[in-house]
């Protein structure tokens, strides 16, 4: 079979990850076009993937305007920049891998999914958590009836104090108007994952949460008027010091995420310049961030099962943790291992999982492998995050956010 020809729209963090899959699997996928306004990232992807010069452009519209010349498009632009390219490339008949979230509002999500369904294209959303070995094992165990019927689920997303500060205080997703609200930006994965594992539609939601800590009022007095970690007398005592966080990574010779988000110069001078001038050196108490740092969501499913979900920014960084309570036993998972407790035998057993090495617990490349296979064989059944269910779980997220804002229980739209 010929390698699937891919266009990458947006050569930032996510675009690079998906393009790397093609580099590592040249027999099944090849990047033949890239659109990216930032010169360094555009040139770097073009060179690494040997993209023909005529297909290396600054803006996605240039590629969408041409007659279709590849099999599929990967759209990895920022959240607010998904709808227009998604609809344009769908109309051209490209198979599509669209990063999550579909779009920042329900109507745009609906429009994207309608376009994908109308054109009958292979369409996958970047819900990478569905594609890990861990998730597949957990889902198979639940489906096998090992713990009977699932009655309730407790699911925790410990975002991690530094990851939260990096992405959601200083970074791309710090301000709702500029990107999207926290539950959509980060936890749309989790509400989608719960739906997948439980195998039921969510019908009602309630939610609480706020931005509690990363606000001016919470700034330690000792930090005085400093607005950047590089000039702050309190910096050595601050858990959120950008100076400590990024320079330590540099000392450990790390060059990948998250250091590659703040600079392209992996030297002390390069990182210090980013901390002195760029957003990632700002004091976490002195930014126009407004997304919540903690949120809980309660979910009711069609068959009466329930789930409670917690997203917490001020946590040790680690994988999500889940307990599934069934009628005959419990399953506990921490992203690495699964433990089963059986009510009849009163025995606990550890269930081993084979892990693969790519990002998001193997989900990044798991998704790409499935997507590429679906495109090559014209068989959408390889896609675990297709249009209809992705829209359904996005609508659950919008309902939960409305529940939080309006302090009420919300039905999930479209049911």
Ligand X SMILES: NC(=O)c1ccc[n+]([C@@H]2O[C@H](COP(=O)([O-])OP(=O)(O)OC[C@H]3O[C@@H](n4cnc5c(N)ncnc54)[C@H](O)[C@@H]3O)[C@@H](O)[C@H]2O)c1
Q: Interface with ligand X by CB under 6 A: which residues? A: 9-15, 35-38, 41, 59-60, 76-79, 81, 99-100, 126, 128, 172, 185, 360
Helices (DSSP H) in 199-257: which residue ranges?
Answer: 242-251
Q: Which is nearer to ligand X, 182 or 271 (CB)?
A: 182
- Residue 119, φ and ψ in degrees, nearest 5: -85, -10
Cβ-count burial 358-379 (b if 16+ within 10 Å, e if not): bebbbbbbbbbbbbbbbbbeee
Q: Which is nearer to ligand X, 149 or 277 (CB)?
A: 277
Q: CB of 90: closest distance to ligand X in angstroms?
A: 16
Q: CB of 368: closest distance to ligand X in angstroms?
A: 11
Q: Which is nearer to ligand X, 254 or 302 (CB)?
A: 254
Indicate the SS3 state at residue 259: helix
DSSP characters for 16-85? HHHHHHHHH-TTTEEEEEEE-SSHHHHHHHHHHHT--GGGEESSHHHHHTSPP-SSEEEE-S-GGGSHHH
Q: Which is nearer to ligand X, 368 or 412 (CB)?
A: 368
Q: CB of 37: closest distance to ligand X in angstroms?
A: 5
Q: Which is nearer to ligand X, 133 or 172 (CB)?
A: 172
Q: CB of 172: closest distance to ligand X in angstroms?
A: 6
Peptide bond between residue 101 and the one before it cis (omega within 30 degrees of 0):
yes
Q: CB of 77: closest distance to ligand X in angstroms?
A: 4
Q: Which residues contact 285 (CB under 8 A, 6 or more apart)?
A: 214, 215, 216, 218, 219, 220, 223
Q: Which residue is nearest to ligand X (CB)?
A: 12
Q: Which is nearer to ligand X, 51 or 147 (CB)?
A: 51
Q: CB of 396: closest distance to ligand X in angstroms?
A: 17
């Amino acid at each position: 079979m010929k390698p699937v020809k891919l266009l990458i729209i947006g050569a930032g963090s996510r675009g690079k990850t998906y393009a790397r899959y093609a580099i590592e699997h040249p027999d099944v996928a090849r990047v033949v076009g890239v659109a990216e306004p930032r010169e360094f990232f555009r040139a770097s992807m073009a060179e690494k993937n040997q993209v023909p010069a005529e297909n290396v452009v600054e803006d996605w519209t240039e590629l969408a305007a041409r007659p279709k010349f590849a099999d599929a498009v990967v759209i990895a632009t920022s959240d607010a920049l998904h709808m227009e390219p998604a609809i344009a490339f769908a109309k051209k008949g490209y198979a599509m891998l669209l990063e999550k979230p579909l779009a920042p509002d329900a109507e745009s999500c609906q429009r994207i999914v309608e376009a994908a369904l109308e054109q009958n294209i292979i369409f996958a959303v970047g819900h990478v958590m569905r594609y890990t070995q861990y998730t597949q094992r957990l889902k198979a165990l639940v489906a096998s009836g090992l713990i009977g019927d699932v009655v309730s689920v407790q699911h925790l997303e410990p975002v991690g104090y530094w990851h939260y500060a990096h992405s959601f205080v200083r970074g791309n997703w710090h301000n709702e108007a500029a990107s999207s609200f926290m539950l959509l930006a980060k936890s749309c994965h989790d509400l989608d994952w719960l739906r997948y594992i439980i195998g039921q539609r969510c019908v009602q939601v309630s939610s609480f949460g706020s931005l509690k800590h990363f606000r001016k009022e919470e700034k330690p007095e000792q930090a005085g008027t400093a607005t950047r970690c590089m000039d702050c007398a309190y910096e050595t005592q601050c858990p959120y010091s950008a100076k400590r966080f990024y320079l330590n990574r540099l000392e450990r010779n790390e060059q990948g995420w998250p250091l590659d988000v703040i600079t392209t110069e992996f030297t002390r001078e390069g990182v210090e310049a980013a901390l002195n001038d760029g957003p990632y050196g700002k004091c976490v108490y002195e930014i126009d961030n407004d997304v919540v740092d903690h949120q809980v969501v309660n979910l009711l499913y069609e068959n009466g099962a329930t789930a409670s979900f917690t997203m917490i920014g001020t946590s040790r960084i680690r994988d999500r943790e889940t307990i599934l309570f069934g009628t005959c036993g419990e399953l506990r998972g921490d992203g690495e291992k699964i433990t089963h407790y059986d009510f009849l035998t009163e025995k606990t057993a550890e269930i081993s999982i084979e892990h693969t090495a790519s990002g998001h617990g193997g989900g990044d490349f798991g998704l790409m492998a499935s997507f590429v296979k679906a495109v090559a064989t014209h068989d959408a059944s390889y896609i675990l995050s297709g249009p209809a269910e992705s829209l359904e779980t996005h609508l659950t997220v919008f309902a939960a956010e409305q529940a939080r804002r309006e302090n009420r229980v919300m039905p999930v739209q479209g049911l």
